[in-house]
Amino acid sequence: MAADSERAIMIGDGPNDLLAGRSAGLPLVWVSYGYSNMPVETPGADAVIDRFAALPRALSRLMAYTKPR
């Protein structure tokens, strides 16, 4: 995709998403309405969204505070 990995953010709703994002050193947006039964507080996400429409705002906020690695 020729994307810049320095500006990547993981979006997930399950334990594998959490592990993959954290292993890659990425900020994490946790989707509370996904298939996982993990409590929202468990992953320690950088942002939590309760509906898809909230994703653009969460991404904008994280990108403003994400420094290149």
Tell me what pLDDT residue 15 has. 86
Q: Output the pTM of the full model.
A: 0.79
The predicted-structure confidence for 46-64, as pLDDT tens digits, reads as follows 999 999 999 999 999 998 8
Tell me what pLDDT residue 40 has. 64
From CA 61, how far away is CA 15, in angstroms rounded?
Answer: 23
Instruction: Give φ, ψ of 23 to 5 degrees.
Output: -65, -35
Q: Any idea which residue has 């996904």 for tokens?
A: 34
Tell me what pLDDT residue 37 has. 74
42-51 long-range contacts, CB within 8 A, separation 24+ = 43/18, 45/18
Is residue 46 within 8 A of residue 67, CB to CB? The reply is no
The predicted-structure confidence for 15-26, as pLDDT tens digits, reads as follows 889 889 889 889
